[in-house]
Chains A and B, each alone.
Chain A
């Protein structure tokens, strides 16, 4: 199993540009989430999903969209990038709500 994969690893955007961060898992996990990690603030939940077709907002959803058309994929879309979205983004999955989380290697995003 590849586990949780994320692409790209690094990305530089200009303010106002849009892009999609890709996340995929091959473990048939129902639960998937997106977090951002900023210095001194820990990881914060952006959006999450409890299964295909079901998504909901986390703590910091503004400026981001998600969809879950398949169990395997959970892309995160930045609609109009802002410097405040400069961060490291992690995708995570878990089998059930009570099982350990598996995290991807992260995408380091810089918005100029």
Chain B
């Protein structure tokens, strides 16, 4: 059974700092990996999706990397801003379980960016 772990569970940084969020998964047979953002009381917004054949994806100040063999992904946020404060979730789609329709989530990293 796939298990997804995110470290740290919570993180507080000053504005402008570059930061890295970590995600690890136990089964390397994945279809893809997504990073989501969740604001309090709201739904999830997909930030980046990395297919199993890719090593990284970039969107603006966000960069996500994927190392399937070691079961790890990182989300890099450059020049953090207070508006980046949210919970970041990592989710993995298994290669043999129907793909991206069936996601296994980590419990998230709660990020606070302070002025």
Contact = CB atoms under 8 A, between A and B. Distances in A.
Interface of A: 4, 31-33, 35, 40-45, 48-50, 56, 58, 90, 92, 94, 96-106
A104 B43 contact: yes
B43 A103 contact: yes
A45 B32 contact: no
A97 B96 CA distance: 11
A98 B45 contact: no
B98 A97 contact: yes
B69 interface: no
A43 B105 contact: yes
Given A43-B103, A99-B49, 9 more contacts: A43-B44, A43-B91, A49-B101, A90-B43, A96-B100, A101-B34, A104-B43, A105-B42, A105-B43
Nearest to B46: A100
B107 A41 contact: yes
Interface in B40-94: 41-46, 49, 51, 89, 91, 93
B99 interface: yes
